[in-house]
A and B are shown apart, each in its own frame.
Chain A
Amino acid sequence: MELQTGVKRPDKESQNNGYYRSLTRKMVASILLVSITPLILISMAILYYFEASYKEKVEDYLKVLVKKHRGQIDGFLEQRLADIMVLTTSYTMEQLGDGEFLEKQLAKLHDAYTHAFVDLGVVNDQGVQLAYAGPFKLREADYSKAPWFKEAIKTDYYISNVFTGLRGLPHFIVSVRRETKGHSWILRATVNFEAFNSLVQSIRIGETGCAYILNTRGDFQTEPACPIAPSSGPLKDFVQAAEMLTTRVHIIERKDDFGTELLYVMAGLKGGNWLLVYQQSAADAFSVIYQARTIATVIFGVALTSIVAVTFLISRNMVRRIALADRQKELMNDQVIHAGKLASIGELAAGIAHEINNPLAIMMEEAGWMEDLLEDEEAKGLPPLDELTRSIEQIKKQGRRCKETTQKLLSFARRTDLEAETVHLNDIVEEVVNLSQQRAKYDNVTIVPNLSQNLPPVTLSPSEMEQVLLNLISNSLDAMKPNGGIIDIWTYCDEDHVLLDVEDNGPGIPEANLPRIFDPFFTTKPVGQGTGLGLSICYGIIKKLGGDITVSSTVGKGTAFHIRIPKAQE
Chain B
Amino acid sequence: MKGTRVDGGKGCSILLVDDEREYVAVLSKRLRKRGFSVTTAFTGSEGIQELRRTDFDVALVDLKMEDMDGLEVLNIFKKMVPELEVIMLTGHGSAHAAKEGIKKGAFDYLSKPCDIEDLIVKIEQALRKSESRESEA
From residue 343 to 365 of chain A, which have CB atoms closer than 8 A to chain B?
A: 350, 353-354, 357-358, 360-365
A406: contacting residue among B1, B93, B114, CB under 8 A:
B93
Given the contacts A361-B113, A362-B22, A365-B27, A372 and B93 also touching, CB distance less than 8 Å: no
Q: Is the CB of B2 within 8 A of A403?
A: no
From residue 93 to 107 of chain B, which have CB atoms closer than 8 A to chain A?
A: 93-97
A418, B20: Cα distance in complex, Å: 27
Is B92 on the interface with A (CB-CB < 8 A)? Answer: yes
A366: contacting residue among B26, B93, B97, B111, CB under 8 A:
B26
Beta-carbon nearest neighbor of B117 in chain A: A368
Quick one: CB contact mask for A391-418 with B, threshold 8 Å, 1 for yes? 0010000010001001100110010011
From residue 16 to 53 of chain B, which have CB atoms closer than 8 A to chain A?
A: 20, 22-23, 26-27, 29-30, 33
A354 contacts across to B, CB distance below 8 A: 91-92
B26: contacting residue among A362, A393, A406, A418, CB under 8 A:
A362
B92: contacting residue among A357, A375, A418, CB under 8 A:
A357
Interface centre among A357, A360, A365 (most CB of B within 10 A): A365
Is B80 on the interface with A (CB-CB < 8 A)? Answer: no
Q: Is the CB of B91 within 8 A of A361?
A: yes
Quick one: CB contact mask for A410-447 with B, threshold 8 Å, 1 for yes? 11001001100000000000000000000000000000
- Report the interface size class on chain A: 20 to 34
A371 contacts across to B, CB distance below 8 A: 1-2
Q: Is the CB of B33 within 8 A of A407?
A: no
A358, B92: Cα distance in complex, Å: 9
Count A-B contacts at CB 8 Å.
Answer: 66
Beta-carbon nearest neighbor of B116 in chain A: A368
Q: Is the CB of A369 within 8 A of B26?
A: yes
Minimum distance in angstroms from A216 CB to a CB of chain B? 120
Q: Is the CB of B94 within 8 A of A417?
A: yes
Is B112 on the interface with A (CB-CB < 8 A)? Answer: yes
B94 contacts across to A, CB distance below 8 A: 410, 414, 417
Given the contacts A353-B93, A357-B113, A365 and B2 also touching, CB distance less than 8 Å: no
A360 contacts across to B, CB distance below 8 A: 113
A401, B4: Cα distance in complex, Å: 21
B114 contacts across to A, CB distance below 8 A: 361
Q: Is the CB of A403 within 8 A of B113?
A: yes
Given the contacts A362-B22, A365-B116, A357 and B91 also touching, CB distance less than 8 Å: yes
A407 contacts across to B, CB distance below 8 A: 93, 111
Beta-carbon nearest neighbor of B62 in chain A: A358
A357, B113: Cα distance in complex, Å: 7
Q: Is the CB of A414 within 8 A of B112?
A: no
A353, B111: Cα distance in complex, Å: 13
Q: Is the CB of B91 within 8 A of A358?
A: yes
Interface centre among B2, B5, B113 (most CB of A within 10 A): B113
Q: Is the CB of B23 within 8 A of A365?
A: yes
Minimum distance in angstroms from B135 CB to a CB of chain A? 33
A375, B113: Cα distance in complex, Å: 22
A360, B91: Cα distance in complex, Å: 10
Q: Is the CB of B116 within 8 A of A361?
A: no
A104, B120: Cα distance in complex, Å: 167
A399, B96: Cα distance in complex, Å: 24
Given the contacts A358-B20, A358-B23, A375-B2, A364 and B113 also touching, CB distance less than 8 Å: yes
Minimum distance in angstroms from A406 CB to a CB of chain B? 7
Given the contacts A368-B30, A368-B116, A375-B2, A417 and B96 also touching, CB distance less than 8 Å: yes
Minimum distance in angstroms from A398 CB to a CB of chain B? 12
Beta-carbon nearest neighbor of B92 in chain A: A354
Quick one: CB contact mask for A191-205 with B, threshold 8 Å, 1 for yes? 000000000000000
B93 contacts across to A, CB distance below 8 A: 353, 357, 406-407, 410-411, 414
A358: contacting residue among B29, B33, B112, CB under 8 A:
B112
Minimum distance in angstroms from B75 CB to a CB of chain A? 20
Minimum distance in angstroms from B39 CB to a CB of chain A? 18
A357, B91: Cα distance in complex, Å: 7
B23 contacts across to A, CB distance below 8 A: 358, 361-362, 365
Q: Is the CB of A362 within 8 A of B20?
A: yes
Quick one: CB contact mask for A362-394 with B, threshold 8 Å, 1 for yes? 111110110110010000000000000000010
Q: Is the CB of B30 within 8 A of A365?
A: yes
From residue 61 to 88 of chain B, which have CB atoms closer than 8 A to chain A?
A: none
Beta-carbon nearest neighbor of A396 in chain B: B1
B113 contacts across to A, CB distance below 8 A: 357, 360-361, 363-365, 399, 403
A406 contacts across to B, CB distance below 8 A: 93
B27 contacts across to A, CB distance below 8 A: 365
A361, B92: Cα distance in complex, Å: 11
A369, B27: Cα distance in complex, Å: 8
B112: contacting residue among A361, A417, A418, CB under 8 A:
A361
A399 contacts across to B, CB distance below 8 A: 113
Q: Which 10 A-B pairs have the closest CB atoms?
A: A410-B93, A417-B96, A361-B113, A361-B112, A365-B26, A364-B113, A407-B93, A362-B22, A362-B23, A369-B26
Given A361-B91, A363-B113, 18 new contacts (CB under 8 A): A357-B91, A357-B92, A357-B112, A358-B20, A361-B20, A361-B112, A362-B20, A365-B27, A369-B29, A372-B30, A375-B2, A375-B5, A406-B93, A414-B92, A414-B94, A414-B96, A417-B96, A418-B95
- List B residues at the A interface (Cβ < 8 Å): 1-2, 5, 20, 22-23, 26-27, 29-30, 33, 91-97, 111-114, 116
A-B contact pairs, 15 of them (CB 8 A): A357-B91, A357-B112, A358-B20, A358-B23, A358-B112, A361-B20, A361-B91, A369-B30, A371-B2, A375-B2, A393-B1, A399-B113, A403-B113, A414-B93, A417-B94
